[in-house]
Chains A and B, each alone.
Chain A
Amino acid sequence: MSADRSTPNTPPAAGGAASSGGPAPAGDTELIRFDAVTKRFGAHTVLDALDMKVYSGKHVTLIGPSGSGKTTILRLLMTLLKPDEGTITLGGRYLTHEEKGGKLVPASDRYSREVRKNIGMVFQQFNLFPNMKVLRNLTEAPVHVLGLDKDAAEERARELLELVGLTAHLDKYPSQLSGGQQQRVAIARALAMRPQVLLLDEVTSALDPELVAGVLDLLRDIARSTDITMLCVTHEMTFARDISDCVMMFDAGRVIEFGPPEQLFTDPVHDRTREFLSAVR
């Protein structure tokens, strides 16, 4: 089951055959694909010719020691970083490249913005816009990116605020909310764009311990009730086990092991996985 690069015919395919038990019909189409993606920071190679696939509607959790490249994957998908080598596709379209005259060239700003509209992200530090009230944090992008009219955007925003349980706070500034409330607003803000893919980057790491549960419950709820594809970097192993169709174990820029959570958490193949799991528990 090891997904070493020396066996290129079996790239980790999250939510593929390994999780065929589920009824998800969306799970047959490949949504995200990394082809030999390398990312370096100076002399340090964070991702080393990574191949990976994620099927539509699946929930994938990335685990591994810090610096192993998990967050880099999310940031590459959000085009916050550019790969040094290799290509990334979303629904068959290149994300950071575009085809011009049969050749692959780095994507223009406009092209990659068009593709990444389908991806939403929730950050560790929330990154709400402090100069906008809660409601406008949610309507800003739908109005100015999707072209929704203001009323429709507000209606959608109110629905989402109800979902995250913050209807009472829509007229407040982010700084007037607790960390947990801010993070729930940030989740609603990402959902307001109706993304196909939701990236969750250690979304509970900056929260006080007593606020973590509320945010995780909300995410469990979203995972259950929608068909959004989720990529999640977290240190909350119980949460990972609850929501994931597939868990990928990273080490030193490679996927060293992947599989359904019940298998990977209880009976890991790789020594590094075993060490890591016993260390975080």
Chain B
Amino acid sequence: MRFDWSAVGAFLPTFAKGLLVTLQALVLGSLIAFALGLVWALAQRSPLKAVRWPVTAFTEFVRNTPLLVQLFFLFYVMPEWGLTLSALATGVIGLGLHYSTYTAEVYRSGIDGVPAGQWEAAIALSLPRRRTWTAVILPQAIRRVVPALGNYVIAMLKDSPLLFAIGVLEMLGEARQFSSQTFQTVEPYTVVGVAFIALAYPASLLLRALERRLVR
């Protein structure tokens, strides 16, 4: 097996561009997933059936169908509805939306994990509903779900190459382009593969350390 180190060197500049796009997509996608997931989780606890039921059905549907097809859906269907976004923006929305249905479950279990006594104490002090959520329940719930949320950031990282399918030039997209221009296949795909492990493994070690500190 020949491994051409000069091809690695030639690939590095475009790889760096791709890495930047991957990280952009990851950060923005995570922000959407964290925010939207919380919205779903709260809506699923709504006293109104008309809110609870459709939100549960929607999140179940999104969670149990492939991200790739959802990306195609957003990429081809949104323009038909008169909304044309860049490939990256579409990808970020798709990634964030898909993973928001996972983070919703994480928040849900975090909220369920706050002891009943905390709700009772808030009632005994007559705290308004909104204040109970923002000052008592959510700070405790989010603290205990930080490691789980982190897990989904890593999962999102590993799904980010899917954005290449709608034309985003992230790491895999750059590798594909490089290999079609230079006919060097082994090196770019290997570099990208190693890059993912190099990003994901330390991140998961960090999370495990964090988990030990946060979860008593």
The answer to whether residues A140 and B123 also contact, given A123-B117, A125-B117 and a CB cut-off of 8 A, is: no
The answer to whether residues A145 and B140 also contact, given A123-B121, A127-B118 and a CB cut-off of 8 A, is: no
Query: Is B49 part of the binding interface, using a Cβ–Cβ cutoff of 8 Å?
Result: no
Q: List 19 A-B contacts (CB under 8 A).
A: A78-B124, A80-B123, A119-B124, A123-B120, A123-B124, A127-B117, A127-B120, A127-B124, A129-B136, A129-B140, A130-B140, A131-B140, A140-B125, A141-B125, A141-B127, A144-B128, A145-B127, A145-B128, A199-B124
A186-202 interface code vs B (CB 8 A; 1 in, 0 out):
00011001000001000
Interface residues of B (CB under 8 A from A): 115, 117-118, 120-121, 123-129, 131, 135-136, 139-140, 143
Residues of A within 8 A of B129 (CB): 109
Write the nearest CB–CB distance from A184 to chain B, whole angstroms: 15
Those of A95-143 within 8 Å (CB) of chain B: 109, 113, 116-117, 119-121, 123, 125-132, 140-141
Residues of A within 8 A of B124 (CB): 78, 80, 116, 119-121, 123, 127, 190, 199
Residues of B within 8 A of A109 (CB): 129
Those of A150-193 within 8 Å (CB) of chain B: 189-190, 193
Interface residues of A (CB under 8 A from B): 78-80, 109, 113, 116-117, 119-121, 123, 125-132, 140-141, 144-145, 189-190, 193, 199
The answer to whether residues A145 and B125 also contact, given A125-B117, A127-B118 and a CB cut-off of 8 A, is: yes
Residues of B within 8 A of A79 (CB): 123
- Given A126-B117, A127-B120, A129-B118; 14 other pairs, CB 8 A cutoff: A79-B123, A80-B120, A113-B126, A117-B126, A123-B117, A123-B120, A127-B117, A127-B124, A128-B121, A130-B140, A131-B140, A140-B127, A141-B126, A145-B125
Q: Does A193 contact B123, Cβ atoms closer than 8 Å?
A: no
Residue of A80, A121, A126, A130 contacting most chain B CB atoms (<10 Å): A130
Q: Does B143 contact A131, Cβ atoms closer than 8 Å?
A: yes
Write the nearest CB–CB distance from A82 to chain B, whole angstroms: 12
Write the nearest CB–CB distance from B129 to chain A, whole angstroms: 7
Residues of B within 8 A of A126 (CB): 117
Residues of A within 8 A of B143 (CB): 131
Q: Does B121 contact A113, Cβ atoms closer than 8 Å?
A: no
Residues of A within 8 A of B136 (CB): 129, 131
Residues of A within 8 A of B125 (CB): 120, 140-141, 145, 189-190, 193
CA distance A132 to B135 in the complex (A): 9
Residues of B within 8 A of A132 (CB): 135
Q: Does A144 contact B127, Cβ atoms closer than 8 Å?
A: yes
Write the nearest CB–CB distance from B46 to chain A, whole angstroms: 14
CA distance A228 to B127 in the complex (A): 21
Residues of B within 8 A of A144 (CB): 127-128, 131, 135
Q: Nearest CB to that of B118 among chain A residues? A: A127
CA distance A129 to B127 in the complex (A): 12
Residues of B within 8 A of A120 (CB): 124-125
Write the nearest CB–CB distance from A208 to chain B, whole angstroms: 19
Q: Does A129 contact B126, Cβ atoms closer than 8 Å?
A: no
Q: Nearest CB to that of A128 among chain B residues? A: B121
Residues of B within 8 A of A189 (CB): 125
Q: Nearest CB to that of A126 among chain B residues? A: B117
Q: Nearest CB to that of A143 among chain B residues? A: B131
CA distance A80 to B118 in the complex (A): 12
Write the nearest CB–CB distance from A49 to chain B, whole angstroms: 26
